[in-house]
Amino acid sequence: MDKKTKLTAILATGVVIFVAFSGCIGGEKEEKAELQIVHWWTAGGEKEAINALFSMYRDKYPNIGINEEPISGGAGADMKAVMKTQIFAGNPPSTFQVHIGYELKPYYDGDALEDITWLWEQEGWGDNFPADLQEMAQFDDEYYAVPVGIHRGNLVWYNMEIFKEHNLKLPTTFDELLSVCESLKNEGITPLAVGTLNKWPGAHLFEVILMSVGADFYSDFISGKVNINDPRFDEALNRYADLFEYINSNHAALTWDQACGEVLSGDAAMTLMGDWAKGYFDTRGWRYGVNYSIFEFPETRGVFDVICDSFCLPKNAPSRDAAIKWLQLIGSIKGQNKFNPIKGSIPPRIDAPTDEYDDLAKATIADFRVCTLVPSIAHGSATPESFVTKFNDYMDNYITYGDKTAVKSGIQKAIENELLPYM
């Protein structure tokens, strides 16, 4: 009897411990009004910016709790993977961060998002956002997202001292860019720093090259209307290949910010990056117009490569009211002008006053309100996600091996399998 009692006792203890554990450290969500929000802004200015919005929200709605689940890694790539699994498991948050455009599509196709056209109408937002941007927030003429911040992608950041020292003029054509690169190379300075460790910067560079061949061409490309033997596509590939000898040889080992670091240290003169690079330089003591400045990638004047963060409303969202209040907040002038100056992005609303923005942001805002807006491929807005993956892979291949034929056939297949069927 002794051993048996002992055994039972052990078993019982085990069960008790276990139940206690799972009871008090359960992963269960409670039912009170609580905004469950998932995003990937986990560090630096981004984190500060969203925290500022959270304070604003708490001040306005003191009775609603905020349960944030920040998921870092890969500029949102990890969060996207988790988000899909979560939605698929029938466990949506109240709202989540998503790039506008095609990044929303998997959820739209999966019937997982609420149509928020009524919200847009209620808030009268139809007049306050650029028409092109509104289109990116729609599927079948219905609205599914609310934009909160805009970044511009087709900007070249350069080390002012290097340019001054070597008497370089800012290039406005692609050939001028090549000759600037040649001069820099002869001086032993890396002309263009790129960090392809995470693949997308290389793809980002290529999409801007596509734009430089022509904004219409770019629009055709993302609509799947370009045949791979189109001479314009060849032109884009050739332009990229021309740049290869001017790009740092260790690009595969660097991240985008390490590439910015090359410009910072003077080892490189230029880098192409979205304007979140501003945060990188500013936090390291550099100032716009003094140490670094920007110019549009040659031949993309008048084109604004849009990378837009937005939030959406999942179906069956817990605390739906809290989520709607959040969307109202981020779509408002007050909310956008609180968030964007801290984050280093610009407000999507064209009626937002611009006093609290710095000079670079003011210039970007001015451009935003007049340029042609095009969505970014590399950042998930212009094309379905699986196409983006292949696009990133093949452009990474191209910069590594320079095999034009392989890239062309790969992109062709990607267009057939991952783009056209899902448009």
Partner 1 sequence: MARTEKIVPFLFVLPSIILVGIFVYGAIGWNFIISLTAWDGLKPNYDFVGLDNYVRLFRDEIFINALKNNIVLILFLILGVTLVGLILAILLDQNVKGENCFRTVYLFPMAITFVVTATIWVWMYNPTSGVFNSILDALHLGSLKSGWITDPDIALYCIILALIWQFSGYTMVVFLAGIRSVPVETVEAAKVDGAGPLQSYSKIIIPQLTPSILSIFTVMMIYALKAFDFIWVAGKGGPGGSTEILAILMYKTAFLDSHFAYSAAIATILFLMAIAIVLPYLWITRKKI
Partner 2 sequence: MKKKLDVKRVVLYLILLLFLIFYIIPVYTTLTTSLKDLGEVATSSPIKLPHKIYLGAYRDAAAELKRPFLNSLAFAIPATFISCVLGSINGYIFSKYKFKGSELIFLLFLIGIFLPYQSILIPLFEIISSLGLYDTFWALILTHSAYGIPITTLLFRNYYDQIPNELIEAGKVDGYGISGIYSKIILPLSGPAFAMTIIFQFTNVWNDYLFGLVLTMSANVRPMTVALANLKGSFAAAWNIQMAGALLVTLPTILLFIFLGKYFVRGLLAGSVKG
> Of 304 and 398, which has the nearer Cβ to partner 1?
398
From the number of C-beta atoms within 10 Å of its C-beta (0-12, 13-18, 19+), residue 372 rates as middle
Residue 221 makes CB contacts below 8 A (sequence gap 6+) with: 210, 233
Q: Cβ of residue 327: shortest distance to partner 1, in angstroms?
A: 22
Q: Cβ of residue 35: shortest distance to partner 2, in angstroms?
A: 15
Q: Which of 73, 110, 126, 421 binds partner 2 (CB under 8 A)?
A: 73
| Residue 228 partner contact from partner 1, partner 2, none using kind-dependent CB cut-offs of 5 to 8 Å | none
Report whether 276 contacts 62 (CB < 8 A): no
Rounded Cα gap, residues 223 and 253, in angstroms: 33
Residue 357, CB-side half-sphere exposure with 13 Å CA sphere: 21
Q: Which of 34, 51, 52, 74 binds partner 2 (CB under 8 A)?
A: 74
Q: Is 26 in the site for partner 2 (CB under 8 A)?
A: yes
> Of 96 and 129, which has the nearer Cβ to partner 2?
96
Q: Is 400 in the site for partner 1 (CB under 8 A)?
A: yes
Q: Which of 282, 397, 408, 420 binds partner 1 (CB under 8 A)?
A: 397
- Which helix (H) or strand (E) segment is 396 a member of? helix 385-401
Q: Is 109 in the site for partner 1 (CB under 8 A)?
A: yes
Q: Is 12 in the site for partner 2 (CB under 8 A)?
A: no
Helix axes 231-244, 404-414, angle to 10 degrees: 130
Rounded Cα gap, residues 126 and 153, in angstroms: 25
> Of 71 and 189, which has the nearer Cβ to partner 2?
71
Rounded Cα gap, residues 310 and 312, in angstroms: 7
The Cα-based distances of 44 to 47, 70, 340, 362, 379 in angstroms read 6, 13, 13, 22, 20
User: Strands 372-375 and 303-312, how do they pair?
Assistant: parallel
Segment 84 to 123, residues that bind partner 2, using CB under 8 A? 85-86, 88-91
Helix axes 320-331, 44-60, angle to 10 degrees: 110
Segment 246 to 285, residues that bind partner 2, using CB under 8 A? 255, 257-258
| Residue 120 partner contact from partner 1, partner 2, none using kind-dependent CB cut-offs of 5 to 8 Å | none
> Of 26 and 124, which has the nearer Cβ to partner 2?
26
Segment 367 to 396, residues that bind partner 1, using CB under 8 A? 385-386, 389, 393, 396
Which positions touch partner 1 (CB under 8 A)? 80-81, 84-85, 87-88, 106-107, 109-112, 197, 199, 250, 252-253, 385-386, 389, 393, 396-397, 400-401, 418
